[in-house]
């Protein structure tokens, strides 16, 4: 009678095994590779029928046990290949460049419904507040007219110009109200008063939101590729990365955009716009020209120096605010932020590279624009709901949300972050779909990358 053994699928006949007294050439006995054990599926074995005529196995029936083990050889390299990045975690460490485990719809579902409601009366109340403060500051400065008051006025008024810009920015996104005509009128009045072409900027800013985090397609403060960076002359590189020059770039950007891009925010035939937007661009450029004409008239009527003190210097402060805030919402985190191209980019992944910033007392003045992550993902949410919406979304975002450092009454800490980023974040590689900023140690003539 044949011998029987218990296999791990059933009973099967025992077959004789030839014993090799020496190691087989194909499997060296001194291999340094690790042995790995894998279960073989039971389906790989043909199980014999246990019941046959005249044979009684004591009612054992068919034994149901686990599959036998198969020994395979794996190298350390193969072992490493089996480890994958899941839910943004790689080897226990968070990978900010990995695809998130949630969808945009998951974030949206977490935000309370009332956060999406736009109240035009509430929006207009902020406009009235800011305009009253602007004219009040100008009246106070003109009344005292001394060199102790003027510097304080310049900082305060420049900040208020920035607040006006943010309200016009909301008009451009449609978060000001559900009325396009109201958004357009309010946006033109607010932006033209601070020399911003409303529709030209609105359209380019829309491009920025739709392509945030994309190396080539983003519009605002996107990184330079290594090729473009090295094509710039030394003077241009220094101007771009040496303060305060980058913080005065906005007017230049309006006229000629960023390096590597063409077009103007004032010209209807610019690459920024499509043919059916021509009338909008002409309208905004006409409003901008009218404001320039008004300033020219005031210069003759009251003299260039009073106008410079009342309007010119606050305008420069406003430009610095705009460049500072825009830059730091996309740069300067303690850990490197990913930038994408090709198939790795998505609207969600690009939006998750943005940063919230705390501006202390300035938060309320500039309408919580520092609450930037949710704003970038859902720009239709009014600014007065952004904080609540962000708190509701945090559990979904997890580590993809980077908690901002708390500011004192005034956000002086941001200057250190800005300086550090300007020294380190110079360009990204031309190769790869997920890249990070690299440093040019020779930019300033000495190695300042440390």
Res. 173: pLDDT tops 90 = yes
| φ/ψ (deg, to 5) at 90 | -125, 115
Average the pLDDT over 334-357 and give the result. 94
* CA atoms of 127 and 206, how far apart (whole Å): 22
Where does residue 385 rank: exposed (0-12), middle (13-18), buried (19+ CB within 10 A)? buried
Query: Does 67 score more than 70 pLDDT?
Result: no
Count of C-beta atoms within a 10 Å radius of residue 386: 23
Q: What is the C-alpha separation between 15 and 3, in angstroms, rounded?
A: 8
Burial letters 205-235, b for 16+ CB under 10 A, else e: beebbebbbbbebbbbbbbbbbeebeebeee
| Alpha helices by DSSP H, 379-443 | 386-397, 413-424
Question: By mean pLDDT, which of 42-46, 149-153, 207-211, 252-256 is the weakest?
Answer: 42-46
Q: What is the dihedral of CA 98, 103, 104, 107, to 10 degrees?
A: -100
Instruction: Supply 430's token pair.
Output: 């031309």
Most confidently modeled range among 54-68, 83-97, 152-166: 152-166
- The pLDDT of residue 294 is 98
Q: Beta partners for 13? A: 4
340's torsion region: left (phi>0), alpha (psi -120 to 50) or beta?
beta
pLDDT per residue over 125-151, tens digit each? 999 999 999 999 999 999 999 999 999
Write out the E strands in 51-140.
69-74, 89-90, 93-94
Residue with the larger pLDDT of the pair 445 and 49:
445
Is residue 398 within 8 Å of residue 405, measured between CB atoms? no
Cβ-defined contacts of 263-269 (< 8 Å, 24+): 264/200, 265/197, 265/200, 265/201, 265/204, 266/197, 266/200
Distance between CA atoms of 230 and 77, rounded to whole angstroms?
37
Examine the pLDDT at 320 and tell me if it is beyond 80. yes
Residue whose token pair is 């009338």: 279
Q: Residue range 254-259: average pLDDT?
A: 83
Measured between alpha carbons, how far is 328 from 450 in angstroms, rounded to an integer? 20
**Contacts of residue 431, Cβ cutoff 8 Å, sequence gap at least 6:** none
Neighbours of 241 (CB within 10 A): 19
pLDDT recorded at residue 263: 86
| DSSP-assigned beta bridge partners for residue 197 | none
User: Among residues 267, 283, 287, which one has the least CA distance to residue 204?
Assistant: 267
| Highest mean pLDDT pick, 253-267, 385-399, 435-449 | 385-399
Average pLDDT on 16-43 reads: 43
**Res 93: pLDDT:** 82
Q: What is the pLDDT of residues 393-425, one digit of tens each?
A: 999 999 999 999 999 999 999 999 999 999 999
pTM for the whole thing?
Answer: 0.79
Kindly list the distances between the CA atom of residue 359 and the CA atoms of 225, 313, 334, in Å, as whole numbers in the listed order. 31, 22, 18
113-139 as b/e: b if 16+ CB within 10 A: eebeebeeeebeebbeebbebbeebbe
Cβ neighbours for 186, distance < 8 A, ≥ 6 positions apart: 123, 124, 127, 167, 168, 171, 176
C-alpha 383, offset from chain centre: 18
pLDDT score, position 12: 47
Average pLDDT, the chain: 84
Q: Which helix (H) or strand (E) holds 84?
A: none
Check residue 39 and give its pLDDT: 45
DSSP three-state, residue 258: coil
Q: Is the peptide bond preceding residue 263 cis, with omega within 30 degrees of 0?
A: no
Other Cβ atoms within 10 Å of 284 Cβ, number? 26
At 5 the three-state DSSP class reads strand
Residue 262 has pLDDT above 90, yes or no: no
Q: How far is CA 310 from the centre of its chain?
A: 36
Residue boundaries of the structural domains of the chain: 105-435
Question: Residue 93 in 3-state DSSP?
Answer: strand
Helix or strand holding residue 194 (H, E) = none
| C-alpha dihedral sign at 298, 301, 304, 307 | negative
The CA distances from residue 123 to 9, 105, 118, in Å, are 73, 27, 8
- pLDDT for residue 447: 53
What are residue 72's DSSP bridge partners?
36
Q: Are 11 and 68 in contact (CB under 8 A)?
A: no
Q: Of the candidates 366, 9, 404, which has an alpha carbon nearest to the alpha carbon of residue 169?
A: 366
């Amino acid at each position: 009678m044949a011998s029987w053994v218990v296999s791990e699928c059933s009973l099967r006949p025992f077959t004789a095994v030839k014993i090799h007294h020496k190691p087989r050439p194909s499997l060296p006995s001194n291999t340094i590779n690790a042995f790995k054990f894998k279960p073989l599926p039971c389906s790989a074995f043909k199980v014999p029928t246990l019941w046959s005529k005249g044979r009684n196995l004591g009612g054992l029936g068919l034994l149901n046990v686990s599959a036998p083990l198969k020994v395979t050889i794996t190298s350390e390299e193969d072992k490493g290949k089996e480890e994958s990045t899941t839910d943004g975690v790689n080897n226990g460490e968070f990978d900010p460049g990995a695809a998130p485990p949630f969808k945009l719809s998951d974030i949206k579902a977490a935000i309370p419904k009332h956060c999406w409601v736009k109240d035009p009366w509430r929006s207009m109340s902020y406009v009235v507040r800011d305009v009253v403060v602007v004219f009040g500051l100008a009246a106070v400065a003109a009344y005292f007219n001394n060199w102790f008051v003027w510097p304080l006025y310049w900082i305060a008024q420049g900040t208020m110009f920035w607040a006006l810009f943010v309200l016009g920015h909301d008009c451009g996104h449609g978060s000001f109200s559900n009325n396009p005509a109201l958004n357009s009128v309010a946006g033109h009045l607010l932006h033209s008063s601070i020399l911003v072409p409303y529709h030209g900027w609105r359209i380019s800013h829309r491009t920025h939101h739709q392509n945030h985090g994309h190396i080539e397609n983003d519009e605002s403060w996107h990184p330079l590729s290594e090729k473009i960076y090295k094509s710039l002359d030394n003077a241009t590189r220094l101007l771009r990365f040496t303060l305060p020059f980058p913080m005065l770039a906005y007017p230049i950007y309006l006229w000629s955009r960023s390096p590597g891009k063409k077009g103007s925010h004032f010209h209807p035939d610019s690459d920024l716009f499509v043919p059916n937007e021509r009338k909008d661009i002409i309208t905004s450029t006409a409003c901008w020209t009218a404001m320039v004409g008004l300033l020219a008239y005031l210069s003759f009527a009251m003299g260039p120096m009073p106008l410079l003190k009342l309007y010119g210097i606050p305008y420069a402060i406003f430009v610095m605010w705009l460049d500072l805030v825009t830059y730091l919402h996309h740069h300067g985190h303690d850990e490197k932020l990913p930038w994408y191209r090709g198939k790795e980019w998505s609207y969600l992944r690009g939006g998750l590279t943005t940063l919230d910033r705390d501006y202390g007392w300035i938060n309320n003045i500039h309408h919580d624009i520092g609450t930037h992550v949710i704003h970038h993902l859902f720009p239709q949410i009014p600014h007065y709901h952004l904080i609540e919406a962000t708190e509701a979304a945090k559990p979904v975002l997890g580590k993809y949300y980077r908690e901002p450092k708390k500011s004192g009454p005034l956000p002086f800490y941001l200057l250190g972050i800005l300086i550090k980023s300007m020294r380190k974040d110079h360009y990204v590689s031309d190769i790869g779909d997920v890249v990070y900023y690299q440093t040019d140690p020779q930019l300033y003539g000495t190695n300042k990358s440390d």
